Amino acid sequence: MSTLVEIRNLHKRFPIHGDLLDRIRLKGGRLELREENVHAINGVDLTVNKGEALCIVGESGCGKSTVARTVMGLIEPSEGSVHYQGQRIDNLSPREMMSYRRRMQMIFQNPYASLNPRMSITETLEEPIRFHQSDLGKAEMKDKVAEVMQAVGVDPSWGKRFPHEFSGGQRQRISIARALIVDPEFIVADEPISALDVSIQAQVLNLMMDAQEQRGLTYLFITHDLSVVEHFGARVAVMYLGRICEVAPTRTLFAQPRHPYSQALLSAIPRLEDERPRFIRLQGEVPTPVNLPSGCVFHGRCPHANDRCRNEIPALRQVDDVQISCHAVEENRIASG
C-alpha cells in the first residue's frame, strides 16, 4: 500500500484579534500587547494510503475542518508540512499548486452554500473543466458533463436548472459531480452528508462508495457521525482538541477502542438495540483551545489520568496496526474490553 498524502507534525494557530484595549496588559511597569491564539491543531501526524477511505472523527471544534483545509492548501499551516506523493505541497506558489488542485478536490458540508445560485448545473460543472482542462473541445466537454451527471444520478436533461430547484440530496450529488468532473485522485469530504436526511444520506454514501470503486479514489472523509464511519471508512483517526488520540482500522476501533477518549466517544453512539442511554460518563467539560491543557489534552476529563498525564504530552505510538497517544495504554493501566 502506498502513501498518497502525508501530514507531518501539523500545527495551526489562529490569532484572536480582540479589542486592542482587551489585549493590552500592564506587566512589571510596562505595557505589553498580549498575543492570544486559538490552538486549532497541535501536532497532527497522519497518512492517507492510496485507494483507502480515511475518516476523521471527533467532536465539534476539535480541528477536523482545519486539517481538511490545510491539506487542501486553503490555509497555511503554522508549523509542519503536507506532502502529496512525496512532494511537499503546503509551501507551493499558486502556480505550482495548480496541478495539485485538479488532483485534489473538496466536498463541503453545506450543499446550499457551496453551489453558486446564479449558475445553472451545466455551467457549474463546466467551470472546473474550463479551468483545469482548457484544451478539451466543446463536444467533449458536453459529453463529460453528461457522463458525470449520469454517474451521480442527476438526469442530464436537468442541466439548465439552477441549484434552488433541487433538493438537498440532489444538490450534494451535484457538488460531488463537480468534484468528480476533473478526474481527481483524492477527495477531501468535510461532513458531506451531515445536512441530509437519513434516507438521502444513504443515497449519497452509496454514490461516494460507487465512485471510489469505479474511479479508484482516495478519500479523507470528515464526520462526527460514528455509525457512518463504521460503515464507510477503512481506517479512522479520532481527534480531540487538535491532537490525534488513536488511528486504527475501522473494524479494530469499533471492536476494541483503546484510547480513553475513543472509548467514551464510541460508547455514546445511540444504537437501535439500546434499552436506555448507555455511555461512559466523562468528567468536566471540553477545555477551550485558547488555553490548552498541559500534558495530555484529554487529562482533565479522563478517568485514567495521573501525574504523568498532567505533565507530559503522550506521543503517538504504534501498537500492532493501531497508533495511540495515551500514557495509560502504554503503561497497561487500562483493562482491555
Q: Which of 111, 184, 260, 289 binds ligand SF4 (CB under 6 A)?
A: 260
User: Could you say whether residue 296 binds ligand SF4 (CB under 6 A)?
Assistant: yes
218 phi/psi in degrees, rounded to 5: -110, 135
User: Could you say whether residue 175 binds ligand ATP (CB under 6 A)?
Assistant: no
| Closer to ligand ATP by Cβ: residue 148 or 220 | 220
* Cα–Cα distance, 239 to 245 (Å, whole number): 6
For strand 186-190 and strand 104-107, is the pairing parallel, antiparallel, or unpaired?
A: parallel
Residue 48, SS3 per DSSP: strand
User: Could you say whether residue 66 binds Mg ion (CB under 5 A)?
Assistant: no
User: How many DSSP H helices and E strands does the chain contain?
Assistant: 12, 14
- Give the three cell numbers for residue 154: 442527476
CB 177 within 8 A of CB 151: yes
Task: Tell which phi-psi region holds residue 212, choosing left (phi > 0), alpha (psi between -120 and 50) or beta.
Answer: alpha
| Closer to ligand ATP by Cβ: residue 2 or 60 | 60
| Closer to ligand SF4 by Cβ: residue 206 or 311 | 311
User: Could you say whether residue 119 binds another protein (CB under 8 A)?
Assistant: no
Residue 93: partners with Cβ closer than 8 Å, 6 or more residues away: none
| Closer to ligand SF4 by Cβ: residue 148 or 302 | 302
Dihedral angle of Cα 292, 294, 300, 303, to the nearest 10 degrees: 140
Q: Which span sits near ligand SF4 by CB under 6 A: 66-74, 112-120, 202-210, 325-333?
A: 325-333
Give the per-residue contact string, 288-327, with ligand ATP (x = CB under 6 A; - = no): -x--------------------------------------
Residues that bind another protein (CB under 8 A): 59-60, 167, 169-170, 197-203, 205-206, 209-210, 224-228, 230-232, 234, 250-251, 264-265, 267-279, 281-282, 285-286
Residues that bind ligand ATP (CB under 6 A): 14, 38, 40, 58, 60-66, 224, 289
